[in-house]
Amino acid sequence: MLTEDPHMLEQIRFAQVLASQDSPVLIMGESGTGKEHFAELLHGNRCPSSSQEATRGSNFVPVNVTTLSEDLFEALLYGHKQGAFTGATRDTTGLVQQAAGGTLFLDEIGELKLTIQPKLLRFVQHRQFRKVGASKLSKATCRIVCSTNCDLKEMVKAGEFRLDLYHRLTIFIIRTTPLRERPNDLALYIHKTHDIEPTKAKEMATKILKLTPLDGNYREVQGIMARYELLGEYIIY
């Protein structure tokens, strides 16, 4: 991650410390601020305990929870047995098992429907799951990392997010900073990724920040720079 920002560097060091832990981590920040990079950092530096089946080569499984429908949530996350429901022609391995010994990254956890949250709570709380159609519980060996661009505390107050799930997922919190508050990082990104001389990159960063609040952060910058390189203009959409 390209950064010279003191807060972001502190959060990187914090993530490196947390990498050896198994407790859930919530990564909070605006869209495009590098939350998945932090999740990968937590995974890549993971040092499993001897009691785990984990290895450094274990899977990193990212899941955008907005793609998990209420009807299929448990089947997708935990898997299902043959004959568990119409169309279940064989046993399947869920995302939790695919991440065994590694990291299950639940992206945009704030978008998880309130009616689905109890199904996740049981898994997070007990680190156990049951395949749809199975009679026995299975033990999960993956690390749970979540991200959100929402204020989950405010969602709890509004009755849109369960308080018990909130406390289970926020054992540790990493917070990313918007790129508009890190002009030096914006210049560094332009310099490193587009091979632009540092002084020129700083001028470009200043210009971009005058034209847009950069609500899209790095994703928005990628589009701005692509248009600039092709057309020679700062075109903001």
What is the pLDDT at residue 49? 46
The secondary structure of residue 170, as a DSSP letter, is -
- Phi and psi at residue 41, in whole multiples of 5°? -65, -45
The stretches in the chain having pLDDT less than 70 are 46-57
Alpha helices in 181-216 (DSSP H): 183-194, 198-211
Tally of helices (H runs) and strands (E runs) in the chain: 10, 9
Q: Tell me, what's the pLDDT at 71?
A: 83
Model's pTM, two decimal places?
Answer: 0.90
User: 6-175 maps to which CATH number?
Assistant: 3.40.50.300
* Element of type H or E holding 103: strand 103-107
Question: CA angle 54-8-111, nearest 5°?
Answer: 65
Taking only the tens place, the pLDDT of each residue in 129-149 is 988 888 888 899 999 999 999
Q: Where are the domains of the chain?
A: 6-175, 179-231
